[in-house]
Amino acid sequence: MWKKPLGGLASGIQLLWFRYTLANMDSGERNETAPAPQAAPRERPWVFGLLIAPVAVLSNGLIGGALFYLLLRQGVGAARAAGIVALLNLPQTIYFLWSPITDFWMRRRTWLMVAATAAAAFMLAAFHQSSLASPWAVGLMFLSACMGQLIVAGSGGMMGTLATENHRRRASSFYQCGSLAFGALALSVLVVLAARLQLGALGWIMAAMIALPSLSALAAPEQRTIGGHSLAATFAQIWHEFKGTFLRWQAVPYTLVMLFPMASGSMIQILPGLARDYGISGQQVAWINGLGGALLTAAGALSAALIPVRMRAPVVYLTAGLVNAATLAVLWLGPLQPAVYLVGTVLFLFTIGACYALFTAVVLEFLGGSGKSGSARYSIINSLGNVPVAYMALIDGVSSERWGARAASGADVLLSTIGASILLTYFLSRRNGKTAM
């Protein structure tokens, strides 16, 4: 795979620098610093679980979670509230249009703190409007969501600079775990406090939850500024990087991994609606598809860090996709009973969390090194992953409506198994092949 040559080059440079340093030390200094320098541990892959927290609060906690509830509490109609939520979800799909800005002018970790501060300020202003459904409030929340997506782009570009495959895998797990855990935490805080505090006070809490975690960027690995000495040289380097990532035959299977239906997670949206058919109570639905489910999915994401890195990311991801499809087979083939729903849903949520983490690992393998355009390329690749979420949610929903509760799970199982099996066959046949740029 094409990240190993980059890691090997970095290790070679470190070795040459170490030998040069030893050659220019006296014997006392050599004895004190004899062990080889370890650059990798300073990369701190765990910090990416904190770096993603601001956008997790925004996207998972508010927009995809508590906002609909807050709008209903203000007397906004369900249709209007759903339209506002849909509009504010748009930046997650099209953020590749403005995310390249995080590759310029400042280091990515600086961009992350600036974007989080701006997102917090816009959200604070939105919560101080008379209604969250007012045009000003919706516009401010949209700007906040756009700023939040710069955090995703910057974090992706920073993960692309990690030198070792082990740290990339661990960063992917912490990244997804933090996204899910902080989103669930923010959702719980907003729902609990909504009945106790005024909207303005909630705005201050939201702003703090968005801005404060971004300070963890100070602990992130420092990113050196990369670019040519002229505008033409910089754009030439960017073109070379884009061509090396996208305009090659090896990019085709990676693109298909992004677009194929396995491990889309679309059933997360469908499962609450199927609970009644299995005899599940509203309280059980609220727990297993709410905070409990989010924490379970976060645990699954963290567990992916335990998988040995000697197994290639696409192979592990596709295998996990098959396992995830097997958990849905419990709902497809089992009887319509509460125990079946609970067991199938718990297994599904845990395995989909692992799939999310491994998906990010595949994105990083597709990306290669960050270079000058890492955030832009990461955003494009990551955005492709939203495509199967959309069409699988439609397929699962239509299947459930036409053929019953089991049909949604059945459609997901069949399409995911076919897609994962095709691509897994390809990657296993090429496991010793070279995919380097």
User: How do residues 161-199 score in pLDDT, each as one tens digit?
Assistant: 888 888 888 989 999 998 888 988 888 888 888 888 898
User: Is pLDDT at 274 greater than 90 in this prediction?
Assistant: no
What residue ranges define each of the domains in the chain, with the CATH number in brackets?
A: 47-222 (1.20.1250.20), 233-429 (1.20.1250.20)
Q: What is the pLDDT of residues 75-112, one digit of tens each?
A: 888 888 888 988 998 898 888 888 888 888 888 889 99
Neighbours of 314 (CB within 10 A): 26
Neighbours of 141 (CB within 10 A): 25
Give every CB contact of residue 58 below 8 A, 6+ residues apart in sequence. 119, 123, 144, 145, 148, 210
Report pLDDT for 33. 35
Report pLDDT for 229. 58
Rg (CA), the chain: 23
Q: What is the pLDDT of residues 345-378, one digit of tens each?
A: 999 999 999 999 999 999 999 988 877 888 888 8
Query: pLDDT class for 57, splitting at 50, 70, 90?
Result: very high
Report pLDDT for 321. 95
Query: pLDDT class for 45, splitting at 50, 70, 90?
Result: confident
Count of helices and strands (H, E) across the chain: 21, 0
